[in-house]
Structure 1
Amino acid sequence: MLDDSAAYVDGPWTHRTVGAAGARFHVAELGEGPLVLLLHGFPQFWWAWRAQMTALAEAGYRAVAVDLRGYGASDKTPRGYDLVGLAQDMAGLIRALGSAEAVVVGHGVGGLIGWTMTAYHPGVIRALAAVSAPHPRRAARILFPPGPGTRHMLRAQLPILPEHRLLADGCVRVGELLDAWSAPGWPDREAEERYRLAFSIPKVSHCSLEYHRWIFRSAWRADGLRYAHRMRAPVRVPVLQLHGSLDPVCPPKVARSSGRLVAGPYRWESVVGAGHFPHEERPRHVDDALVGWVREIDGERR
């Protein structure tokens, strides 16, 4: 097992730890200007956004990529992996970073957190870019018919065994998931090694699965029913959905139906030839789409 040094990848960014919502969060930061907060998905960590951080900084924005609770070099708390609590984490982090609001960009479960923020913390999220992430009210449709995401979600509900499977043989399972959920040609060797090392950090395998356990089990509990009711509110901030055309985890048709729940400006962007990780599989496409959209929101002032 390793310490959390695997999360401190060298680059043009700076690393620091920020306290928010009763926990400590590791962030990587690059650029100056309006805040853009980047939330990774599973099975990754902040480094997933390295290309977008550079593009946003060059466009005049302050790009901050965070290790979510339980990941990378952030705190591995025993509780706090429900979407409501995770949204509170990120709302608190935005304020702790000295900003009143931010554009939030989220991939996978990070996108679910972003969608949740639009209902629970609309005052701190001025726009949302959801990458490979349907609105939570549409997410259940991923389970039918069963696909790779369904199988992973169901296996994650078992105690202990899924954690051991992720950790076995130097976290080889992490590489297998990246390969199975992406289009041919990704991940490269560096990316696979980075994510396998990041999942070797103590407690990351367990904490990451706690996200999936809450998402699945809460559907039949009082907290999940309250959440579902709150998420009926229409989304009023601008939304960009970026989605790989070959995503095997969340079919594009399911994700695109999220647009019906958005009352504010909405844009769908298909990333042709990409799977579940378009920001890494086709980074230039995602960079251009994201920067162009943020500039449009800002009225081309930058």
Structure 2
Amino acid sequence: MTDPATAPAAPSNQPASPVRLDVPGAKELIHRDVAANGARFHIAEVGDGPLVLLLHGFPQFWWTWRHQLVALADAGFRAVAMDLRGVGGSDRTPRGYDPANLALDITGVVRSLGEPDAALVGHDLGGYLAWTAAVMRPKLVRRLAVSSMPHPRRWRSAMLSDVKQTSAGSYIWGFQRPWIPERQLTADDGALVGRLIRDWSGPRLPDDEAVEAYQRAMCIPSTAHCSIEPYRWMVRSLARPDGIQFNRRMKRPVRVPTLHLHGSLDPVMRTRSAAGSGEYVEAPYRWRLFDGLGHFPHEEDPVAFSTELINWLKDPEPDR
């Protein structure tokens, strides 16, 4: 009998939506839903080979990885981009937005895809969760690549002790107000989403089509609320037992090869904050700083980003 936890899900027959988009150059792209950790997750997948699971950040959804989906599939990988809980085409549950549970979503999707493990590639919040998954479920993480996000303990320390990082992350403090941030994110057809993406990028802005897609996705009912709930947890749990326990669990080192990518012009995650994350890795660790790029290096210069990522994924000795 096939185990329902590992059997591939049937392709979704749901009608077209603002998040089930085509990707130029990926004719074989499939949209479908998979069940994991008590919820349903939308994924976009293309290619065959070792699994690479792509995790988006704020204020985006799976489509932020459209360039890498094509490049990874062409390079011989099974490339899958998922919508995180509460975002895009995934379930908007009333609770479950703490990073430990969100990390279980991710590793649950790996199992639901019928794979023994995956290389996780996370950006921004997706990077935070990728770090977390590598610590909490190391057997399911083959390699780890993180962009634009320090290790959670490094990020926590910087936000509490580095005045410049505290200022750079001021939007997170603003998210702590009830309901006002949700209204701001969805006002004027999501105009604030576009401003954030443009303000956080370097000179090579993501294209207008992408920005408009992110704005539409944020305006799907309940998405804005679900998108900022993880950030509310990060701040409100600082002195709570669940937050203290999470911070202790994250003391365990990452023991898989790790690639850390960052844009030199990132205005919200300072290079200084991110660069010290290697101290939490007891495995080959490679740091790569992209000159002239901001918070979205995978979209600002997709060729350079994809090349760096694929070369590292294929390198049998990633510590060289």
Q: Same fold (TM over 0.5)?
A: yes
Identity of aligned residues (%): 50
Aligned partners of 1:145, 1:274: CA distance in 2, in Å? 23
**Aligned counterpart for 2:248 among listed residues 213, 229, 233:** 229
Deviation of 1:149 after TM superposition, in Å, equals 4.1
Corresponding residue to 1:191 among 210, 216, 228: 210
Asked whether the equivalents of residues 168 and 270 of structure 2 are also in contact (C-alpha less than 8 Å), the reply is: no
Residue 84 of structure 2 is aligned to residue 72 of structure 1: no
Aligned to 2:110: 94
- The residue that corresponds to 1:48 in the other structure is 64
Structure 2 portions without partners, runs of 5+: 1-14
> Following TM superposition, by how much is the alpha carbon of 1:297 offset from its aligned partner in structure 2, in angstroms?
3.9
Q: Who is 1:208 aligned against?
A: 227
1:268 to 270, 287, 291: 287
In structure 1, distance between residues paired with 2:69 and 2:130:
18
Distance 1:212 1:149, change over 3 A: farther
> Any residues of structure 2 matched to 1:156-167 within 5 Å, and which?
156-167=175-186
Per the alignment, residue 272 of structure 2 pairs with 253
CA contact under 8 A between 2:169 and 2:269: conserved in structure 1? no
Question: 1:25-64 maps to which residues of 2 (within 5 A)?
Answer: 25-64=41-80
Of 22, 25, 43, which residue of structure 2 is paired with 1:10? 22
- Quick one: distance in 2 between partners of 1:210 and 1:54? 31
> Is the aligned partner of 1:181 residue 2:197?
no
Whether 2:132 is the aligned partner of 1:127: answer: no
SS of aligned partner of 1:81: coil
Asked if the contact 1:142/1:251 (under 8 Å) is kept, the reply is no
Tell me how far apart the structure 2 counterparts of residues 164 and 260 of structure 1 sit (CA, whole Å). Answer: 39
Give the TM-score of the pair, scaled to structure 2. Answer: 0.90
Any conservation in 2 of the 1:39–1:67 contact (CA below 8 Å)?
Answer: yes
Identify the residue that residue 137 of structure 1 maps to in structure 2: 153
Q: TM-score, normalised by structure 1?
A: 0.95
Give the conservation status (yes or no) of the 8 Å contact 1:94–1:124: yes
Q: 2-side partners of 1:271 and 1:150: how far apart? A: 21
Secondary structure of residue in 2 paired with 1:75: coil
Question: What letter corresponds to residue 296 of structure 1 in structure 2?
Answer: D
**Which of 231, 239, 244 pairs up with 1:220?**
239
Equivalents in 2 of 1:112, 1:187: separation in Å? 22
CA contact (8 A) 1:247 1:274 kept: yes
Q: Structure 1 stretches of 5 or more lacking a match?
A: none
Question: CA 1:101–1:176 in 2, change beyond 3 Å: closer, same or farther?
Answer: same
- Quote the offset at 1:142 in angstroms: 4.0
Provide, for residues 252-292 of structure 1, a one-character-per-residue CA deviation record: whole Å limited to 9, x for no partner.
12101001111100000111111000000011111000000
**Residue 286 (str. 1) matches residue 302 (str. 2):** no
In structure 2, C-alpha distance between the alignment counterparts of 1:135 and 1:75, rounded to whole Å: 27
1:110 equivalenced with 2:126 (yes/no): yes
Check whether the contact 2:149–2:274 (CA below 8 A) recurs between aligned residues.
Answer: yes
